[in-house]
Amino acid sequence: MRRVVVTGLGVVTSIGIGKDAFWEALIQGKSGISKVDTFDTEDQFTHYAGEVKNFKPQEYFKKEEIKLMGRASLMSIVSAKLALEDAKLPLGDLRSCRVATVLGTTSGESQEIERACFEWIKKGENAISKDTAIKSQVNNSSANLARIFGIKGINRIFTTACSAGNYAISFGWELIRTNRADIVIAGGADAFSYIAFTGFNQVGIVAPQICQPFDKNRKGMIVAEGAGILILESLDSARVRGAHIYAEILGYGLSCDAFHMVNPHPEGMARCIKNALSRAGITPQDVDYINAHGTGTRHNDKAESKAINEVFPRKVPTSSIKSMLGHCMGAASSIEAIATTLTIKNNLIPPTINYQTPDPECDIDCVPNKARKQKVEVALNNSFAFGGNNCCVVFAKV
């Protein structure tokens, strides 16, 4: 079995586009939450989100290409382009080896689905344009990415809600490890949408203005968008190429709560973490940092804290970058995986911002408000999605 490493990172978020801008904003505790611009929120309960307002597709694509793709596809392709450049992998090299494209999403091209619905309601079903119909497919972000770069290997999309990015990375790890691919472009993408914003508002779990994971007075999540792509390859391949290695992936763990559609269960979370540690061949004592799922909702933060305290005999630094980004849905765990690899590379832990009042039910070290300099050899990336779809990925220094 081959060892699997991360050699390229590309990211599009509300706090920065590209790994350097993203990381700098993270360690400074910068918030990307602002008033919604995409549509009118007058009739909504809340009015703030994590939109990527400085993303300009025309800087990367021709007009005719933009016309054929939805926002999730555009963000995933830009992230992949940045990641491939970071890994120093030209397209010619990609076309001469076995390359897989594996992405995760919650809603796919939800903006295009909305557009089709609005066209149907206003003018009837015959008014739905061909372009809108083509652009609304749930697998489009992975399919368009492969089309733009001419990648003809395995192409797959995971739709396991907010853990989908981690699922994609885990499957990519399996492909490299078992010699079914030489390079894997893995990650996730989700665009901000009326469906997601309205849906979470109706469930009553969206905070009015800020996300406060693990804080006693937390009021909920903040809906957001983004994309994150990691380039995976074998350790031997990376060394032969002289590639920069951010981290090694030691393994992953999966579980299902089998409990409730929207309320998580700490037993399922703890089982997922234990499965990841076992698969990676490490113990709880080996873990230096946990990038939490940390949504800022009452139930999630309480359950995740309980699970962490069940597995770990000591307080492991555990931060939630959703406090800065909001919840990027299917892209969340892939963006958080990028943050985790950069934490390992820089030995610097990003903070959980907006933390004011400790909660006895969230008795963890959440790295409040300021980044922390600390040696990080092994780190976990938690993702615990609706439906109890849990995935935890283990990263480490090589």
* Domain extent listing, the chain: 4-241, 250-396
Nearest one of 9, 27, 26 to 18, comparing CA atoms: 9
The Cα 63–Cα 190 span in angstroms is 21
Q: What angle do CA 48, 326, 229 make, to 5 degrees?
A: 135
Cα separation of 223 and 127, whole Å? 30
**Catalytic residue numbers, as ranges:** 162, 293, 327
pTM: predicted TM-score of the whole model, two decimal places: 0.95
Instruction: Give strand ranges (E) for 203-246.
Output: 226-234
Q: What are phi and psi of 244, to 5 degrees?
A: -75, 130
Q: What are the pLDDT digits (tens) for 291-303?
A: 999 999 999 999 9
Task: Write down the pLDDT at residue 117.
Answer: 77
- Kindly give the parts of the chain with pLDDT less than 70: none
- Do 4-241 and 250-396 share a fold? yes
pLDDT score recorded for residue 215: 98
Q: What is the DSSP letter of 139?
A: T
User: CB neighbours of 224 closer than 8 A, spacing ≥ 6?
Assistant: 14, 32, 33, 49, 50, 51, 192, 322, 325, 326, 327, 328, 329
What integer pLDDT is reported at residue 343 of this predicted model?
A: 98
The CATH code for residues 4-241 is: 3.40.47.10
Domain 250-396 has CATH 3.40.47.10: yes
Per-residue pLDDT at 375: 98
Q: What is the pLDDT of residue 381?
A: 98
8 Å CB contact between 195 and 114: yes
